[in-house]
Structure 1
Amino acid sequence: SAEKLEVRFAPSSHAYDGRYANNGWMMECPDPITKLTWDNAIQISPTLAKELESAQGIQIFPAKKPMNKDSAFFEGAKGTLQTNKANFRRGKEEAVVVELTVNGVTIEAPIHVVPGLANYTVVLPLGLGRKVVGRVGQGVGFDAYAVRTSSSLGCALGASIKLTEKTFHLANTQEHWSMEGRALVRENTAAAYTKTPDFVNKIGVESHAPSNYAKDDGKSLQEKSVNQYRGNSAYEHPAFSKPLPNVKVWEGNEDKFPVPQQWGMAIDLNSCTGCTACVVACQSENNVPIVGKDQVLRGREMHWMRIDRYFSAEKYDQTEVPDDVQVSFMGMMCQHCENAPCEQVCPVNATVHDSQGLNTMAYNRCVGTRYCANNCPYKVRRFNFLDWNKRQIGEFYKGPLGPVDEPELEKMNANPNVTVRMRGVMEKCTFCTQRIESAKIEQKRLAGASDDIRIPDGNIKVACQQACPTDAITFGDISDADSEVSQMKASERNYSVLGYLNARPRTTYLARLRNPNPEMPDAYEKPYAYAQYDERYGHGSHGDHGAGHDDHGAGHDSHAVPAHDDHSAHGHDDHGHDHSSH
């Protein structure tokens, strides 16, 4: 009951049992479920939160703000936005501080509501709140060991919670938890997949929209990757299969032109567990800076890759935060779009496309307009608001007037093959271009006088792929039909996120399959995410209409609702705003 709670002690995703409390990469990596950084919080269920709120009269959930049911907005949106599970003010989660009493010992800590927890069980993450630790872990989080005894190492019974009037800012990197019925993470059951293996083509906008490639829709992935067919685009791209018209050296020798390899990625959502190993691997490989809690609160985290976590409920009730949920994870980084929206708005050509299909960054051209970040539908671009790598800690806001602090020991922490970015510059995932270039140099060395300069499949592993414990990420040459990534993209489960925008991302996803036991009382016909899409947008399966638009991963995403869908793949708030007025 709410008066006699069960307490579960669990290692923190940031510090484990405390041994990593001084590791900045771990502190800033969001927890896979709570999405919190630089803190731990007492995790409670929505049911317990509602009972505490009702009994003690202190608000935990945000006030309900139903949309006007008589408005055109409501009709267009087909419902209200899902109630959030925390109060946010200008991007900062305002968590209620509580007094938790266990075995006569009381601690104070903020609470965080987590759908899916048992109703009267609270979770205390261990390892933070250390008093004697290095400068990174000093004063981070609360110490849960204070209420843990040798007789209750794993759990304790009879705990109680008292809400206080105090609040605490938690650095949460994902404000909204619901897909709002949109088909971002596509799921089905194994049984349904055997009957309709191409189900990903039959949901979302693409299921009833013209193909992005128009008359060239039937071409193979390999042909599309090197020829860059115009399709329904507003303008034509130069084909990678031919030399550029302004390079005269190939005139009369077009047949000798070496067609560049085309790089792409596939992420299998069946295999992804949301562990975030890829996030830290990317940070290590690409010299991504640690910015600290204050800057994360302002939406300035710098991770090139993030793991979006969504909850889906059996009953789609936008007015309540559900208890029984299914969790979906999606790794999101720069998609390296062939029709990249960011490239079209950069006034100085700082972000451009190369002949290998990469969306590249020229850091010394960037003047920091941030137009590209505004125009990115995936919200994966990161801006260096401050000089993280050069200035003394605590002196960032002085900019070029701040004292320089570049210890030689810390310089050795950086990857020498990757540029260290400066203040005022935009950055993002590069598909580990330094590894691609290194492999090209090595292959040319091995080739000698021969023309065997194509990199064999499997020679390049990007950092996130290398770190993934379940091999969910595949990277390689999509112009080679026999490459592993091409075979992954040939799967009927392959789709693009927000593909209806005709951005043509080089990164595609393989839909997740769940396998419920039909004999169990909680067996379901459709995964909750798929059922919510069906319920909210009322189309379900469209038969064969619009199926199979694009074996290059033509995306399949849920309906674009002009009233509230900002085309962001990160719920309804990408937490990428500058809250510098605070």
Structure 2
Amino acid sequence: MTTAPTPDSPEIVLTASYAMDDGRYANNGWLQELPDPITKLTWDNAALISPAYAKRLGVEAGDLLQITIDEKSSAGTPVKRQLVIATLVSPGHADNSVTIPLGYGRKMPQFYELPYAGADLKERPGIEEQSGFNGYFLRTAANPHFAVAGGQGIESVQVTKVGRTYPLSIMQEHFSIEGRGLVREATLEGYRANNEFAKKIPGEEELPYPPPSLYTHPPLDAPQQWGMSIDLNVCTGCSACVIACQAENNVPVVGKLQVAHGRIMHWLRIDRYYASRKPFNQDRGEWPENPEIVHQPMPCQHCENAPCETVCPVNATIHSEDGLNVMAY
């Protein structure tokens, strides 16, 4: 009989990866470098656990955990399944539960290409020598999605701290700026009472003047002015726009190490913020127990303020009178 998960015998949940699915897209560099909508992790998967469970285990993001499942085969033979995987704390995650996205963990991916008709297959290196951890080591036909003590053939589930760390490339705070406010939101009633609430949040007032610049913006005097708005009430952080932009503009993939150095080159990003009625200070290790999540898209601004426009020596890129950056080809 299946027992309820406990700190000493947690539940293991195996899910399809948001980007890799079951691993079929592991050779796609765009998807490997796509930040997860919730964790903002790139190039890896991790064992997602709640802040409370992480505190009990004494682990932080990047600490390695060993997951051990003792079970019996259909023939009654004892079987031990183990996986060592990095930890990632996820506020709002269920306690006494570990979620592992599948689709990662290949040690030496390979491509095969046919250079010309009639030639032999030529082998060349894959995009990364190692990417993540193979959750399939814990998966069986009898328990394909969940592993918990008392499940079919499962006698015990244990999670222990290994004592080593693993580098994770998380990009949520790569572009944070000191003194600039975070996402600002209010209820509909609050907006109706004060539609300028975003400018007057105590301690997060907008900067009084725009930053100084040597560049004079062209006059926008056409009767029609282009603009774009994003409905933050419906944005789920799916990041389809990030991949579409990368494809349209030939944005390069930089790899896990360069992402860790803050050099990811996406032209737009989707920032994720946790919201809670109870104040918390992440810098002091405080996390909300059951937070809401707010997604804030940050477009590139190239249509309005393309960096090439101010420096082009031949005036190949200019500003139109209706507010768009245009190119002369």
TM norm structure 1: 0.43
Q: Does the residue aligned with 2:274 lie in a helix, a strand or coil?
A: strand
Distance in structure 2 (CA, Å) of the matches to 1:341 and 1:356: 15
Q: Contact 1:8 / 1:123 at 8 angstroms: preserved in 2?
A: yes
Query: Is the 2:69–2:81 contact (alpha carbons within 8 Å) kept by the matching residues of 1?
Result: yes
Q: Secondary structure at 2:32's aligned position in 1?
A: helix
Among 20, 26, 50, the residue aligned to 2:25: 20
Cα shift at 1:30: 0.8
* 2:219 maps to 1:239: yes
Alignment of 1:256-335 (within 5 A): 259=222, 262-318=225-281, 319-322=284-287, 323-335=289-301
Distance (whole Å) between structure 1 residues aligned to residue 271 and residue 229 of structure 2:
16
Question: Alignment partner for residue 45 of structure 1, among 50, 55, 60?
Answer: 50
C-alpha contact 2:309 2:315 (8 A) present in aligned 1: no
CA distance in 2, matches of 1:282, 1:337: 13
Q: Which residue of 1 aligns with 2:119?
A: none
Pairing partner for 2:96 from 107, 110, 120: 120
Q: Distance in 1 between the 2:257 and 2:320 partners?
A: 40
Q: CA deviation at 1:317?
A: 2.9
Q: CA deviation at 1:324?
A: 2.0
Structure 1 gap ranges (5+)? 54-59, 62-85, 87-94, 213-231, 242-258, 361-432, 439-582
Seen in structure 2, the aligned counterparts of structure 1 residues 351 and 145 have a Cα distance that, compared at 3 Å, is: farther
Residue in structure 2 matching 1:129, options 98, 105, 120? 105
The answer as to whether partners of 2:220 and 2:323 remain within 8 angstroms in 1 is: no
| Residues matched between the structures, number | 289
Spell out the pairing of 1:559-578 with structure 2 (5 A cutoff): none
Distance 1:148 1:268, change over 3 A: same
- Tell me the TM-score normalised to structure 2 length: 0.73
Aligned-partner residue type, residue 127 of structure 1: G
Distance 1:143 1:24, change over 3 A: same
Superposed counterparts of 1:522-537, under 5 Å: none
Cα distance in 1 for partners of 2:133, 2:169 equals 14
* Displacement of 1:332: 0.8
Aligned partner letter, 1:28: E
- CA 1:154/1:343 → structure 2, altered by over 3 Å: closer, same or farther? same
**Offset, 1:142:** 0.8
Match of 2:135? 144
Contact 1:177 1:310 in 2 (8 A): no
Q: 1:289 to 1:161 in 2, by over 3 A?
A: same
**What amino acid does structure 1 have at the position aligned with 2:320?**
S
The amino acid that maps onto 1:324 is N
Query: Mapping of 1:218-229 within 5 angstroms?
Result: none
Residues 145 and 192 of structure 1, relative CA distance in 2, 3 Å threshold: same
Which residue in 2 is equivalent to 1:167?
A: 165
Aligned residue type for 1:45: S
Assess, with a 3 A threshold, how the Cα gap between structure 1 residues 351 and 8 changes in structure 2: closer, same or farther.
farther
Q: Distance in 1 between matches of 2:15 and 2:223?
A: 50
Q: Which amino acid aligns with 1:300?
A: R
Q: Aligned partners of 1:29 and 1:117: how far apart in 2?
A: 22
Distance 1:352 1:28 in 2: 30
Displacement, 1:285?
0.4
1:110: how far off? 0.8
Pairs within 5 Å for 1:82-101: 86=61, 95-101=62-68
Cα 1:233–1:42 shift into 2, 3 Å: closer
For residue 166 of structure 1, report the CA deviation from its aligned partner.
Answer: 1.6
Alignment of 1:83-482 (within 5 A): 86=61, 95-103=62-70, 104-130=80-106, 134=111, 135-136=126-127, 138-158=129-149, 159-175=157-173, 184-193=182-191, 196=194, 199-200=197-198, 202-203=200-201, 237-241=217-221, 259=222, 262-318=225-281, 319-322=284-287, 323-335=289-301, 354-356=319-321
Let me know the Cα RMSD of the aligned residues.
3.8
Following superposition, the deviation at residue 3 of structure 1 comes to: 0.8
State the identity as a percent: 42
- Partner letter of residue 169 of structure 1? P
TM-aligned CA distance change 1:311 to 1:269, over 3 Å: same
Secondary structure of 1:278's aligned partner: helix
Of 25, 32, 40, the residue aligned with 1:35 is: 40
CA distance in 2, matches of 1:136, 1:347: 35
**Structure 1 residue 4: deviation in Å?**
1.0
SS in 2 for 1:263: coil
Deviations 1:317-345 (A, max 9, x none): 3233312211111111223597x697999
Q: Is the contact made by 1:16 and 1:126 (CA closer than 8 Å) also made in structure 2?
A: yes
Question: Structure 1 pair 276/199, CA: closer, same or farther in 2 (3 Å)?
Answer: same
Deviation at 1:115, TM superposition (A): 1.0
CA distance in 1, matches of 2:207, 2:265: 35
1:35·1:173 contact (CA, 8 Å) conserved in 2? Answer: yes
Q: Residue 99 and residue 164 in structure 1: after superposition, are their counterparts in 2 closer, same or farther (change >3 A)?
A: same
* Larger helix share, 1 or 2: 1
Shift of 1:297: 2.0
Residues 284, 316 of structure 1: alpha-carbon distance in 2 compared, 3 angstrom cutoff: same
Name the counterpart of 1:74.
none
Structure number with higher strand proportion: 2
